[in-house]
Amino acid sequence: AQSVTQLGSHVSVSEGALVLLRCNYSSSVPPYLFWYVQYPNQGLQLLLKYTSAATLVKGINGFEAEFKKSETSFHLTKPSAHMSDAAEYFCAVSDERNTGFQKLVFGTGTRLLVSP
């Protein structure tokens, strides 16, 4: 069964600094991978997805992630943090390749704190 590990329940950065949120996956087949962001008392918003096309995936709000099969990783980065990036970030994996139903398995989340 697939799983996702997010290292670090909290990550703190200064405004303007590099953001790096770590995600490692486990899957018996090539997976689909996702990063979602959740602001307080809100639903989840898709930041970006990997679906076996380009290994470097660009998303919204300046975020990007690189799929590295050799490291089973899909880390999320942003060159320069903004105060508005403060939120909870979830990495998720799905390996449902032949059906229309995508069961997402979420990591435990990483709270990004951005200080002025």
Residues that bind other proteins (CB under 8 A): 32, 34, 36, 41-46, 49, 51, 90, 94, 98-104, 106-109
C-alpha span between 54 and 47 (Å, rounded)? 16
Nearer to other proteins, 42 or 115 (CB): 42
Nearer to other proteins, 15 or 51 (CB): 51
Please, what is the minimum distance in Å from the beta carbon of residue 63 to other proteins?
15
Please, what is the minimum distance in Å from the beta carbon of residue 80 to other proteins?
26
Grouping H, G, I as helix, E, B as strand and the rest as coil, residue 84 is: helix
C-alpha span between 61 and 96 (Å, rounded)? 28
Query: Is residue 29 within 8 Å of 96, Cβ to Cβ?
Result: no
Please, what is the minimum distance in Å from the beta carbon of residue 16 to other proteins?
27
Torsion, Cα of 19, 22, 27, 33 (10° steps): -20
Nearer to other proteins, 42 or 61 (CB): 42
